[in-house]
Amino acid sequence: MSKIRFSTIEEENWVILSFELENAISPTDLQSIKPPKLPGTKGVIISGRGPIWLYCFLVHYYHPTRFMGTYDPREEGAVIVESHTSDYRVGDVLKVDL
């Protein structure tokens, strides 16, 4: 039984990757988590409630994509934390509607 459920919403320039933990996870669970394949030509925005080490794992996993962002409801958008394009800079906030 999977301990994490992923869902995606594909937009023109990015994919929103949401996750939901079905029960508690431990660091050793990272060894068996299989995130979905996403297009590397788009950015990836991560959204979900989970431990910081899970976010770090996902950012590393999707590093080759155009850019990475994490959704922050206080910012009402995604904060860019990594970018391979001048179109999106680290610290930019993209307004996304979840």
Reported as a single tens digit per residue, the pLDDT across 14-52 is 999 999 999 999 999 999 999 999 999 999 999 999 999
CA distance 69 to 82: 7
Burial class (CB in 10 A: 0-12, 13-18, 19+), 69: buried
- Number of separate domains in the chain: 1
Range of the domain at 81: 4-95
Q: What percent of the chain has pLDDT over 90?
A: 95
Band of residue 1 on the pLDDT scale cut at 50, 70, 90: very low
- Residue 34 bridge partners (DSSP): none
Residue 10 to residue 98: CA distance in whole angstroms: 12
Count, in order, helices (H) and strands (E) of the chain.
Answer: 1, 6
In angstroms, the CA 85 to CA 2 distance is 34
